[in-house]
Amino acid sequence: MTFRNKIAPIMLAVATALASPLAAQDIEAADITAETLNDAKLDAFVEALIAIEAVRADYLPKIQEQANEAGQKALIEEANTAAIEAVADVENMSPEDYVAIGQAARQDEDLNARIMARFLDRLSVTPIRPRQPADRPAPRYPS
């Protein structure tokens, strides 16, 4: 099994999970299908996916730290609102478009593969290097 084959189900799960906060807000999906989706909208979806992941990464520890269910629910609602705002801030994307594309990706393996390819391309643009403790010099990377 190749790396791409292993990550495909993961990306579908990610797209589905990250579309959930918006879908839970009763946002009506736009009329977008895999056949009508253009490259600009697909790129915007990937940017929105990354923006929602940043919101999730910010709120998840806060939600887990809450001692009671009421506090967790309040933070979840706050995170959902932040996710909607993050999507709305992405150029050429709306929450309605995001939900529609997420729904289409769950139903169309080829669309999911296109999203995954763009997502991986986007990640490869900015390689992440491990942080070094302050008392250790940073390693030298070949030029």
pTM of the model: 0.68
Cα→Cα distances 32→24, 37, 50, 74, 93, Å = 19, 6, 20, 32, 12
User: What integer is the mean pLDDT of 106-115?
Assistant: 88
Contact assessment for residue 99 and residue 19, using Cβ atoms and an 8 Å cutoff: yes
Q: Where along the chain do its domains lie? A: 3-124
Four-residue CA torsion sign, 26, 34, 113, 46: negative
- Of the candidate ranges 5-14, 39-48, 97-106, 108-117, the one whose mean pLDDT is the lowest: 5-14
pLDDT grade for 44, boundaries at 50, 70 and 90? very high
Confidence band (pLDDT; 50, 70, 90) for 99?
Answer: confident
d(CA 7, CA 143): 29
